[in-house]
Amino acid sequence: MQTIFLTGFMGAGKTTIGQYLAEHLQWPVYDTDQLIEQQTGQQIKEIFSLYGEERFRELETETLLKKNNQPCIVTTGGGIILKPINRELMKSTGTVIFLRADFDIIWERLLQDDNRPLVKNKSKEEVEILYNSRLPLYMESATHIVDTSNKSIDEIVQQIAHRLRLN
């Protein structure tokens, strides 16, 4: 089995689901944002502030290129799908699971998290426009789509494992 990439908009549950799925499968889990922070010695919000979103997207690509071929779970940043090379790298080296959630649920989750540089000081309508603009890219790159709305973590993990025949 190749790498399982978890994609989705911020607040869809990628990090949490990735941790539980890794525990369920007994596989390592890597978070692209954490890897970038370790590599640069800076927090994501600092990278955005100092160098801008484009530099951050380049760092995401560099992180994907460094990934080894062992079976693992990779949780990604919500915008990793913006660059065609990132979508292609994930599709060609693993299985891409798009964790989809209703926007209203995502918005409620984001209101509780002040560590999101792309939504800081943005209205619900502005964030929903961003969500809708990314939706086709998530769909295009997905091997499987799993709805996380109103489901428990265990239900989501079981659904992913079942779809990938990893129970």
What is d(CA 73, CA 9) in angstroms, rounded to the nearest whole number? 17
11 is in an annotated binding site: yes
| Contact indicator for 82, 13 with CB cutoff of 8 Å | no
C-alpha to C-alpha distance for 111 and 127, rounded to whole angstroms: 11
Count the alpha carbons within 13 Å of 13 in the hemisphere toward its beta carbon: 24
The side-by-side arrangement of strands in the sheet containing 29-31 is 29-31, 73-75, 3-7, 94-100, 144-147
- Residue 52 annotated as binding? no
Is residue 163 part of an annotated ligand binding site? Answer: no
Asked if residue 134 belongs to a known ligand binding site, the reply is yes
Contact (CB, 8 A) for 137 and 85:
no
Residue 32, marked binder:
no
33 is in an annotated binding site: yes
Is 165 a known ligand-binding residue? no
How many C-beta atoms surround the C-beta of residue 1 within 10 A?
12
- Does 113 carry a binding-site annotation? no
Determine whether the annotation assigns residue 16 to a binding site. Answer: yes
DSSP 3-state of 145: strand
Q: Is residue 79 annotated as involved in ligand binding?
A: no
40 assigned binding-site residue: no
Annotated binding site: 11-16, 33, 57, 78, 116, 134
Annotated binding site for Mg(2+): 15
Annotated binding site for ATP: 11-16, 116
Annotated binding site for substrate: 33, 57, 78, 134
